[in-house]
Amino acid sequence: MHRVLRIGHRGAAGHAPENTLAAIEKGIAFGVDFVEIDMRRTADGALVVLHDETVNRTTNGTGLVAQLSLADLKKLDAGNGEHIPTLEDVLKVIARRAGLMLELKVKGTAQQAVEVVREAGFRNPIIYASFLHEELSHVRAVDPGASLMVLFGRVPNDAVSSALAHGPSHIGLRHDTATRRLVEDFHRAGLLVFVYTADSPGDIQHAVSLGVDGVISNFPERIMNQ
- Residue 191: what residue type? L
Partner in contact with 196, chosen from ligand G3P, Ca ion, none, beta carbon below 5 to 8 Å by kind: ligand G3P
CA Rg value for the chain: 17
Partner in contact with 102, chosen from Ca ion, ligand G3P, none, beta carbon below 5 to 8 Å by kind: none
Residue ranges of alpha helices (H) inside the chain are: 21-29, 70-74, 87-94, 110-120, 133-142, 159-164, 180-188, 201-209
Q: Considering only residues 1-30, where is the footprint of Ca ion by CB under 5 A? A: none
In this complex, which beta carbon is closest to ligand G3P, that of residue 26 or of residue 81?
26
Handedness of CA 144, 97, 122, 34 (dihedral sign): positive
Closest residue to ligand G3P using C-beta atoms: 196
CB of 71 to ligand G3P, least distance (A): 26
Q: How far apart are the C-alpha atoms of 101 and 38, rounded to whole Å? A: 9
Q: Distances from the Cα of 97 to the Cαs of 7, 27, 52, 90, 211, in angstroms? A: 13, 10, 27, 12, 26
With contacts defined by CB under 5 A, name the span among 35-43, 89-97, 117-125, 163-171 that binds Ca ion: 35-43
In this complex, which beta carbon is closest to ligand G3P, that of residue 66 or of residue 69?
66
CB of 105 to ligand G3P, least distance (A): 7
DSSP 220: G
Binding site for ligand G3P (CB under 6 A): 9, 36, 38, 51, 103, 129, 151, 172, 196-197, 216
CB atoms < 10 A from the CB of 57, how many? Answer: 10
In this complex, which beta carbon is closest to ligand G3P, that of residue 66 or of residue 81?
66
Contact residues for Ca ion, defined by CB under 5 A? 38, 103
